[in-house]
């Protein structure tokens, strides 16, 4: 009975400690709210590829195919 009580107490302590640790790290606010907003805006708006970049990429692919042959 004494060992059972000790095991239960240890399990409760571990559970409380783990939940307190998780709560302290979950959803921690960033230091600067403006930086967070900028990061979200950058991720939301993907960069558009210019025609020159697309053309260069196609040329490189063609060169690689020619080199393999």
Q: Which helix (H) or strand (E) holds 52?
A: helix 51-68
Task: For residue 44, name the pLDDT band (cuts at 50, 70, 90).
Answer: low
pLDDT at residue 21 in the model: 82
**What average pLDDT score do residues 58-67 get?**
80
pLDDT band at 63 (very low <50, low <70, confident <90, very high): confident
Name the nearest CA neighbour of 49 among 62, 58, 40, 60.
58
Residue 56, pLDDT score: 82
pTM across the whole model:
0.35
Of all residues in the chain, what percent carry a pLDDT higher than 90?
20
CA distances to 7, 45, 51, 65 from 42, rounded to whole Å, are 51, 5, 21, 34
């Amino acid at each position: 009975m004494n060992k059972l009580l000790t095991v239960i107490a240890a399990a409760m302590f571990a559970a409380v400690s783990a939940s307190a640790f998780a709560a302290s790290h979950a959803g921690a606010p960033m230091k600067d709210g403006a930086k967070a907003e900028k990061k979200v805006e950058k991720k939301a708006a993907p960069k558009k590829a210019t025609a020159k970049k697309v053309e260069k990429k196609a040329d490189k692919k063609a060169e690689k195919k020619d080199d393999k042959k």
